[in-house]
């Protein structure tokens, strides 16, 4: 099942790079180029992971960042969530 992931990023080139890599991880990606649009997305839908929000974040990366490290962190978060869901079920 595809993961639902909004990317909140003000740099269109970085947003596109993240979209490409997240789609490779079987994610449906929604882009928001402003914090206001990102907040709107976050408040109106349920997502598996939100990229770009510092407030209330489990993890945070500053720019510039290494794409491989980014992907590793995303995979680790998905893995932790899957383990928790298995324990609940």
What's the CATH code of the domain at 52? 3.40.50.2300
- Please tell me the distance from the alpha carbon of residue 19 to that of residue 21, in angstroms, as a whole number: 6
75: Cβ contacts below 8 Å, ≥ 6 apart? 25
pTM of the predicted model as reported, rounded to 2 decimal places: 0.84
Domain count, the chain: 1
pLDDT tens digits, one per residue of 16-53: 999 999 999 999 999 999 989 999 998 999 999 999 86
Residue 71: give the domain boundaries.
3-88
């Amino acid at each position: 099942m595809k993961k639902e992931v909004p990317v909140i990023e003000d740099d269109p080139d970085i947003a596109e790079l993240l979209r490409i890599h997240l789609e490779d991880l079987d994610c449906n990606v929604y882009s928001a180029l402003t914090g206001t649009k990102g907040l709107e997305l976050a408040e109106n839908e349920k997502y598996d992971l939100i990229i770009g929000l510092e407030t209330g974040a489990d993890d945070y990366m500053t720019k510039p960042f290494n794409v491989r490290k980014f992907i590793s962190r995303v995979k680790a978060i998905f893995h932790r969530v899957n383990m928790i869901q298995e324990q609940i079920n």
